[in-house]
A = this chain, B = another copy of it.
């Protein structure tokens, strides 16, 4: 295993800057795009005018900082470790506590693919509460909270742009459950970020190998490029071999929070047979992943046995993999979903590491025909009930959403989520606004994603052109991320996020003045813009 190290390059025309905290000794990374002067000839004289640099929200972490050495075999600097240990409420374990994790560690045959520089995990001290939600409710502003407040504002203060986003506001939103800061104490490499509808819209990318496909290198490569193009979080949905080892590589090198769907790995442990799943195997998987540093878990706890009957009304049944697994389990055992019945225990586990819960939508519609139907909305009510349970444990929660929803039903879906789930952040896959464009579903869904994000969705999960057809390669990840950056940014502008339009205005001015390089450097994908420009010029020449 030798991952490629070609991630180490800067954005063109840009430099990495750090904005210091006022409450804490923190340094918030941003990208500064330096612009050329405007040149005009007035009355035969050459007049130049300075153009202010533009500050851009940067998800690429250390990879674009020329001062930090990158070594994928060592992992990223552990940015948050001192903040975490400084609170005196966690302890370092003397060994990992999941059975599965131990058995993998003991297995010498895995040495060639293993990430070498593994650290022992942290966990809350007995009797201590350590989640960001707990601190927020206690009125405490953590370094993480100040970090995201600075990060969300870019340089608004310097530019004289008023902003509602202060460290106090961040704290209050997290306390109210309207926003989360996914920040497992065992993923101190990640830069803090916030997911909530009163903040910048975030986007998640999915990667992951399947039984027969790509290896660790390719997954790490896609993960890092996802961050470079602008992914705010990353879900590893691997179902193939060596999930545990792949995840370690990704987490140790990942500057953004990472999520998983633990039931996928649990299912691998019982050889793919849903009936074979047990609470014990699942619980061990949760602990295994908590101790590796997964920042949020998708938990399909809202798929109830009673819902299975409603599925007959649908055109496309259950398309959520997690939903389908749990329904199969409920039916074969004639028992209630064990994720639902053990939900309190799940909270008890994850709160010790500050892992957030992403309540999965097992009844997500797989076609516009099934959008906003009974199955979907009944599940949403259950997710609302679970949200309050999790909050009682001070566990941070987001709610997953569809899927396929035609435009005229998007607002209803958003409003229903806010009511049913007590304003917990919504995290939607798309939604796709039509079903007829396989090969282009990054576009069918970017339309829905932009709209639902404007209406209040906090994070949108990308869809690549390969959706429904196959697993994405690196270029598909790029196309998916950029489509979703567009959707998220269009929504930020529509919502009036402070300073969101600065970049648009600077780019448009550059375009109008034929400052091509500035136009490219300010764009979401400078390399692509330049490539098309050259191709177009060749056509023209």
Contact = CB atoms under 8 A, between A and B. Distances in A.
A436 interface: yes
A447 B452 CA distance: 12
A319 B537 CA distance: 20
Contacts of A470: 532-533, 535-537, 539-540
Given A489-B434, A523-B439, A471 B540 contact: yes
Contacts of A443: 442-443, 446, 482-483, 486
Main secondary structure of the interface of A (DSSP, over half): helix
A469 interface: yes
Given A210-B540, A471-B539, A493-B407, A434 B504 contact: yes
Given A213-B539, A505-B367, A539-B470, A482 B440 contact: yes
A42 to B, nearest CB: 15
Given A368-B504, A407-B451, A539-B214, A437 B482 contact: yes
Q: Which of A368, A473, A504 has the most CB of B within 10 A?
A: A504
18 contacts: A212-B541, A315-B512, A316-B511, A369-B505, A407-B450, A407-B490, A408-B495, A435-B504, A436-B504, A437-B525, A440-B483, A440-B486, A440-B525, A440-B528, A447-B447, A451-B451, A466-B532, A469-B533
Given A213-B540, A316-B512, A440-B486, 9 more contacts: A367-B509, A407-B491, A435-B508, A435-B511, A440-B482, A440-B524, A440-B525, A443-B443, A469-B533
Total copies of this chain within the assembly: 2
A408 B486 CA distance: 15
Interface in A467-498: 468-471, 473, 482-483, 485-487, 489-491, 493-496
Interchain residue pairs A-B with the least CB separation, the first 8: A470-B536, A367-B508, A407-B494, A439-B528, A433-B490, A435-B504, A408-B494, A316-B512
A478 to B, nearest CB: 10
Q: Size class of A's contact patch?
A: 35 or more
Nearest to A496: B408
A450 B433 CA distance: 9
A406 interface: yes
Contacts of A213: 539-540
A386 interface: no
